[in-house]
Amino acid sequence: MTMPRTLYDKLVDSHKVCDLPDGEMLLYVDLHVMNEYTSPQAFSGLDEKGLPVWKPESHLAVVDHVNATRGRAAPDAASQLLIDNLGKNCAQHGIALYGLGDPRQGIEHVVVPEQGLVAPGMVIVCGDSHTTTYGAFGALGFGIGTSEVEHVLATQTLRYRRMKNMRVTVSGDLAPGVVAKDIIMKVVQVVGAGGANGFAVEFAGEAIRSQSITGRMTICNMAVELGARAALIAQDDVSHAAVKGPYVNPAEDWHSDPGAPFDRNVEINGAEIAPLVSWGTSPDQSVPVDALVPEPDATLPKAQESHGRALDYMGLIAGTPMTDIAIDRAFIGSCTNSRIEDLRQAAAILKDRKVADGVTAIVVPGSTMTRLAAEAEGLDVVFRDAGFDWRPEAGCSMCLAMNDDVAMDGERVASSTNRNFEGRQGRGARTHLMSPAMVAAAAVKGRIADVRAFVEHKDL
């Protein structure tokens, strides 16, 4: 009798080449994605060893991390060198490159689904932790390090150790104004940053199944903030409708079997989730937008210490209403929230409204194709009329300040990104994570604002 297996175990088993003596395995990789920032050392390693790329057609390179979004000129000489080196390496090894000026260029985790390069049952890796995004399609995606990039370039395989299984069930219907970003921020809050270390997380429940493919990508994208190295949602009509391109294999059944064993189960009532906003310097430090900056827990000395450090860095006082916190900048973009649906949600808030005086607001569509689609709908006009800077080039931009989009020391940013670490958006910058619609609301109010006061659920 065949034992029931989880979706994660099915994906691993289907790609296992062989077991290795140390308890690891050799795992076959269907698609490897790389960018200009995390690949140079890997190519240098190949050159030093005289190795070719074994299967060039199974690799894709994009420019997205260090490029400017105001125009195609690199922000500095170091960035230009990274971009040039990626072009040379791809030309040398016959790897497809979505470079600046290419109509397919954009943030890697936006363009891969957009170009039909992901489907249920695949294994996809990239030198970027948010490769978990592809779990929205029932694919196993995870980030890898530089030495692993070199290994997969040379062999199309990786040394891999099987993880434990966690299931996060978000049940029930969502309240008005609550979107995918709020779901995953709630999960991170409940499980904790690092609470899923060593686990592959499968999301289930009515609130997950009700999400569009865009919402599912947002959820899987930020699962890495739990410490999970993989995030998965079982295939269904939503994921099938979103899949296109050469990798489709509808004959396979990419679900967890009934009765499949999970090492940990987490249950969350979706009806109790409110629009969330982070207050601290870790993605799990968030509260409902209508709540107060929390007091440290005196019963947990270690947590109390980190809580205090976060308050100091953020320049906040416990007990302050979140909606009293003024912002300096608003940013909509990143691999978490820069797709067309994200832009539509923010535009619904901004239509016939203006950005508050003193707030610098920018929006960076996640790809050239996303930007063109948004402009065809007139979304760019809505953003510009409201006072947002509509950027013409796609890229990671202010998500990680590895380019010329940087917040200044002490500036407070309402951000649709995935991380609020110290210095993430600029040295001394203070980041508040929230949904794109919440960023738009904050931009209009000039302070953190409750999106539910702006529109009905149908507009989100």
* Segments in 94-212 forming alpha helices (H): 108-114, 146-155, 180-191, 206-209
Q: How far is the C-alpha of 251 from the C-alpha of 381, rounded, in Å?
A: 44
Q: How far is the C-alpha of 72 from the C-alpha of 91, rounded, in Å?
A: 20
pLDDT along the chain (460 residues), means of 10: 91 97 96 94 96 98 96 90 97 98 98 96 97 98 96 98 98 96 98 96 98 98 96 94 71 86 98 98 97 84 86 98 98 98 98 98 98 98 98 96 94 98 97 98 98 69
Question: All domains of the chain, ordered by start, with CATH?
Answer: 7-160 (3.30.499.10), 164-272 (3.40.1060.10), 276-459 (3.30.499.10)
287 phi/psi in degrees, rounded to 5:
-145, 160
pLDDT single digits (tens) 222-252: 999 999 999 999 999 999 899 876 665 555 6
The SS3 call for residue 367 is strand
* Measured CA distances, 441 to 57, 219, 280, 357, 399 (Å): 44, 21, 20, 14, 19
Q: With contact defined as beta carbons under 8 Å apart, do 25 and 140 qualify?
A: no
Q: Does the model's pTM come out above 0.85?
A: yes
Q: How far is the C-alpha of 208 from the C-alpha of 230, rounded, in Å?
A: 16
pLDDT at residue 298 in the model: 65
